[in-house]
Amino acid sequence: MLARRGVGLCFFWGSAVPEIDTSGGRLLRGFGPVAVVTGASSGIGLEFARELARRGFHVVLAARRAEVLAGIAAELEARHGGRTTVVAADLATPEGVRALLAATEAMDVGLLVAAAGFGTSGPFIENSVADELGMIDLNCRGLAELTWHFARRFAGKRRGGIVLLSSLVGFQGVPKAANYAATKAYVQALAEGLHHELKGRGVSVVASAPGPIHSGFAARAGMVMGLAQKPEAVAAATLRALGRATTVRPGWLSKFLGWSLALLPRWGRVRVMALVMGGMARAGHSN
Ligand SMILES: NC(=O)c1ccc[n+]([C@@H]2O[C@H](COP(=O)([O-])OP(=O)(O)OC[C@H]3O[C@@H](n4cnc5c(N)ncnc54)[C@H](OP(=O)(O)O)[C@@H]3O)[C@@H](O)[C@H]2O)c1
């Protein structure tokens, strides 16, 4: 309920068992001490939160479901010690974005991982227009606003990192996921541009472009994913690439699919994706 109204809820979990993994050295030195992870209640965002807590970051966990986030905060605290902050907010709304910015204003944030997002599947004109626009609000508008604010803060102190969740589908049009693919093309282009724009100002930006990943994504999009990788593969590979690459294709599957598609002209890629989505898109849509 709170989340639906875009209201932020913020609370702190105290320090407990200090088992900080010092292998987080490069990341913690470059992008610590506080990391903001959106979409931290599930899938890819959750794995980023776990990986960053393991490396000694104070992680700010943001998504809509307060209770789920509280459970994750308790898990991270028990396993790694250190501090977590929960911000329950609907990041598809300006109020939700503002709540997250306000909750983190006084913190020494050095890393933003923008993983909150969702997709739809099926023919665009048969889907709900509210869902399609809500997807733009979350995947593009909310992400852009958070990126703008944190990028300015990081540029001001000439230090910081930004991870934007793009996708394999963001490199061409995708029939039966047309609007979702378009939101990811936006994220990919934004990340590429900002990578070059901000690198001279001490800010690293990386686009992470996974292929199919087991998470809550497929159920919400009404898709069936046969072959998919674990979300852990995305977090680890992306954090390794931060500060070193413009785009990372995490895991063997995204590399294999990405480079296979890259051999084709753009119109050919669209046709291949039409075939792929024909098998994955929501049952009941055949045109
Ligand atoms: N899974 C894949 O195959 C795949 C492939 C390429 C890229 N991606 C991208 O990876 C990112 C993470 O997806 P995932 O696979 O981890 O899916 P997921 O398991 O469904 O996680 C989505 C996350 O976004 C949060 N979220 C959804 N709507 C929100 C809203 N309005 N406000 C705030 N948070 C919201 C969800 O939390 P709440 O429900 O608690 O709000 C959840 O934490 C997305 O941007 C997705 O497009 C996924």
| Nearest by Cα to 190 from 239, 236, 238, 151 | 151
Report which residue type is found at 232. E
The CATH T-level fold of domain 9-280 is Rossmann fold (3.40.50)
Report the separation in Å between the CA atom of 118 and the middle of ligand 1, taken as the mean of its atom positions: 5
Half-sphere exposure in the Cβ direction for 227 (13 Å, CA): 11
Pocket of ligand 1 (CB under 6 A): 39-45, 63-65, 68, 90-92, 115-119, 138, 165, 167, 210, 212-213, 215-217, 220, 231
CA separation, residue 244 to residues 26, 59, 261 (Å): 12, 22, 24
Quick: pLDDT tens for 67-124.
Answer: 999 999 999 999 999 899 999 999 999 999 999 999 999 999 999 999 999 999 999 9
Whether the link from the prior residue into 33 is cis, omega within 30° of 0, is yes
d(Cα 139, Cα 133) in Å, to the nearest integer? 10
Global pTM exceeds 0.75: yes
The dihedral region occupied by 191, where left means phi > 0, alpha psi between -120 and 50, and beta the remainder, is alpha
Report the separation in Å between the CA atom of 200 and the middle of ligand 1, taken as the mean of its atom positions: 31
d(Cα 185, Cα 191) in Å, to the nearest integer? 10
Q: Kind and range of the H or E element at 69?
A: helix 66-80
Domain spans of the chain?
9-280
Residues of the chain with pLDDT under 70: 1-24, 282-287
Contact 136, 183 (CB under 8 A): yes
Q: List the residue whose alpha carbon is closest to atom 46 of ligand 1.
A: 117
The dihedral region occupied by 88, where left means phi > 0, alpha psi between -120 and 50, and beta the remainder, is beta
Residue 18 has a pLDDT of 32
Residue 56 has a pLDDT of 96
| Main-chain phi, psi angles of 137, to 5 degrees | -60, -45
Residue 24 has a pLDDT of 61
